[in-house]
Structure 1
Amino acid sequence: MTESENARLGARIRAYRNMRRMTVRALAAQARASASFISQLERGQTSSSIGMLRRIASALGLTVADLFNEDDHVGHRVVRREARPELRTAPGTRKFLISQRPLQNVEIYAGEFEPGSSTGTEPYTHGDSQEIILVVRGRITLWLGPTGSGDVHVLDPGDSVEYRTSVPHRVVNESDETAEVLWMIAPPTPSS
């Protein structure tokens, strides 16, 4: 890559890192690199292997292709319900990505829970972002905190709860009808 290309790539990496409110050290730790390397890369003073770019992209919740996309103006993006990307989830649940990649400022998912289904048997965490869950249809139970201790919230249509993604959480549909929810996360959490 030329010096100009390295500089543009570095500027995009820095912009995505700042959008995620990540420090250079946090990105370096997640990408298994040194902070000085990330700093030099962001300033266009060094180049990187594809393997390292994959780790950086993953830590930022992106693909390597996203790092090279210079189209800053994305414009309006319409996603029809039937065309939403579906993510693998627990049995009896469906989760769809609403916000489109590359995720920039917010991450939004729609979820459906059949009666008796859940996000899993154990609460989970992901990053340390602000998350809001809004019930669109049906009723869910949201567990916040470690198993056996913590808060339990029963939510009906129109109800919402806001919490940090670093707090263990779990959703269960204990009702007799399918429940539909929206998750909104800002800034987007890094990929696992």
Structure 2
Amino acid sequence: MTVRALAAEARASASFISQLERGQTSSSIGMLRRIASALGLTVADLFNEEDEVGHRVVRRDARPELHTAPGTRKFLISQRPLQNVEVYAGEFDPGSSTGDEPYTHGDSQEIFLVIRGRITLWLGPNGSAAAHVLEPGDSVEYRTSVPHRIVNESDETAEVLWTVAPPTTSS
């Protein structure tokens, strides 16, 4: 993330973020919370100087949930701070989708896997998108910069998994 992008997300000036990064100024707790949130971290993560992260177990009922479109649920599997990969589990109720418009996020490699149900994955901009009907065990790999949209046109809840590397932190 660029200094300007972080500053915009944290509602701060780019010069303040730059000075803070270089140790030339200090910050309030409120500002640290906004910076951490913009980076997908906790305030404690900002002070963690360990390069190596140990084993981390996340129970299904303790997964952080991301707010998504109605009828869909998306859970973060990989734990923050995201270092090398981000992994999400998702559920799509019958008839639900990621929205009417395809979306993009960064320019990383994404692998999408259907665990249960049947999903239609549209790749490409509206009007020229290719439809891929995916059954359990099917996967597709694409760049996150390619517009994509997911639709559950079946009559059962679908369960999916996304793996993105390197992390885009804006899914």
Q: Distance in 2 between matches of 1:72 and 1:36?
A: 26
Whether the 8 Å contact between 2:113 and 2:161 is mirrored in structure 1 is yes
| Equivalent position of 1:163 in the other structure | 142
Q: Give percent identity, aligned residues only.
A: 81
Aligned: 1:153 with 2:132: yes
Task: Give the RMSD, CA atoms, in angstroms.
Answer: 2.5
Deviation, structure 1 residue 78 = 1.1
The answer as to 2:7 corresponding to 1:31 is yes
- List gaps (5 residues or longer) in structure 1: 1-21
The unaligned stretches of length 5 or more in structure 2 are: none
Is 1:126 matched up with 2:105? Answer: yes
In the superposition, the TM-score normalised over structure 2's length comes to: 0.81
CA deviation profile, 1:90-148 (whole Å, cap 9, x unmatched): 22211111111222211111011111111112111222222111111111011112222
The residue type equivalent to 1:109 in the other structure is: Y
Return the alpha-carbon distance in structure 2 between the equivalents of residues 169 and 81 of structure 1.
Answer: 27
One-letter amino acid of the structure 2 residue matched with residue 68 of structure 1: F
- What secondary structure does 1:141 align onto? strand
Say which of 165, 168, 171 aligns to 1:189: 168
Give the superposition deviation at 1:170. 0.9
Secondary structure of residue in 1 paired with 2:4: helix
Q: Do the aligned residues in 2 keep the contact of 1:61 with 1:188 (CA within 8 Å)?
A: no
CA contact (8 A) 2:3 2:17 kept: no
Q: Larger % of helix: which?
A: 1
The residue aligned with 1:14 is none
User: What secondary structure sits across from 1:28 in the alignment?
Assistant: helix
In the comparison of the two structures, how many residue pairs are matched?
166
| Matched-pair contact (CA < 8 Å) for 1:60–1:191 | no
Q: 1:35 to 1:184 in 2, by over 3 A?
A: farther
Task: Give the corresponding residue for 2:62.
Answer: 83
Judging changes above 3 Å, is the alpha-carbon distance between structure 1 residues 93 and 37 closer, same or farther for their aligned structure 2 residues? Answer: closer
**Do residues 49 (structure 1) and 49 (structure 2) align?**
no
C-alpha deviations, 1:11-69, integer Å up to 9, x for none? xxxxxxxxxxx5xxx3334424548963x65454x234346645544453323332112
Q: Which residue of 2 aligns with 1:8?
A: none
The TM-score, its normalising length taken from structure 1, stands at 0.73
